[in-house]
Structure 1
């Protein structure tokens, strides 16, 4: 993203230690932004990524652990960023989780965990960031959603419901914060290949995905990260409350899935 300059901007990326989040951190840093990498359990990966970013791009990088669904941990994380980096300009709510469970077998703890991380987490982080951005003159909040904020899928009723909620959360947030010069964007990836899911995709059949996706390929983490960087920049200064789908037109096609999950008793 050579034509985008984020020098002097300070960004926090939740779930930033690996996968899409790690690439978002890297691309933000490449454009000159200082980056705070949030992790939950992967401290070693966050530390390694921070070292790599410093070596490549020379920006200020730090990292901190927090379960984004825990209000006290989120507050402590933002206080750490205040001390080590200064006022936040860009928040990327990327942290997420899922599990594939038939709705009739789903336990309350499964529902709570997925909804809390994917929906409550962005609320808690956006509230902390918004309070700071309000005092500093503005900023950008980017929520990483999914095509499943509108496309239902078997076994993911909790995940799809949370992402649908995140879509509306983003729209409401954009209305409430617009007069504070804070923009809010929802970016919804389709099928994206990461180090964590590459083996699973290969086992399932990468060719199946590529046959289903009109553009003919599974997305890469850079496809999402480049979109984040553009939306965080002044080039997107009049884009607010929008839903951006990064999916190679996947959701506009008749999406096919394997028939999982079956009931446990079957």
Structure 2
């Protein structure tokens, strides 16, 4: 017994230290800022939001239609400009670089990104009344929350998850994630408020966000609002390389 108690004390101290480390450094485990690749003056919009200036990769286009895109946690969204320009020729394009990404000021967090997303939508929607939202992976969490707050015309979610808390709990079942997590991205909660046509696109062999997580999110939408499509033979990162990918997104418009 005299040996067991010190051992338990050491294990408890290690566990507490791990929890403290997760609390302090969790955002470095969620966000992986990427540099900007396509940076011509005609492809960049500088958006002032509160105390920061964020960058938006753009393809200007006159007319009522626009597409706002939110990328994954390790994505340089500017790389989508060439493909999206061809896929969506009738839409003005706006691809948000999260804070800390691609030259945007500040540090990323759920609330900061959401403020930037709201500001971007209000600016875009004023010029393009038919504004569609699209988000991939982490960006799906941004897009769905925004669609619950603003009058988007359509919503497309690529490899979306039900909530970051549920995802993290599955990844780290022995940690008290509920009490540690700062950014929760509770997409399932916002799904119940969506009333615009919504497409969920999943990868059959997604090793990062299980198909079951996307299916769980799908079940939270009101009846008749959302449609789920699974691209066979693709994983989390290769889904955009599938020949079916862009035609499926085009069809959602």
- Give the alignment's TM-score, normalised by structure 2: 0.40
Which structure: larger Rg?
Answer: 2
Identify the structure with bigger relative contact order (alpha carbons < 8 Å, sequence gap 6+): 1
Q: Determine which structure has the larger helix proportion and give its number.
A: 1
- Give the alignment's TM-score, normalised by structure 1: 0.38
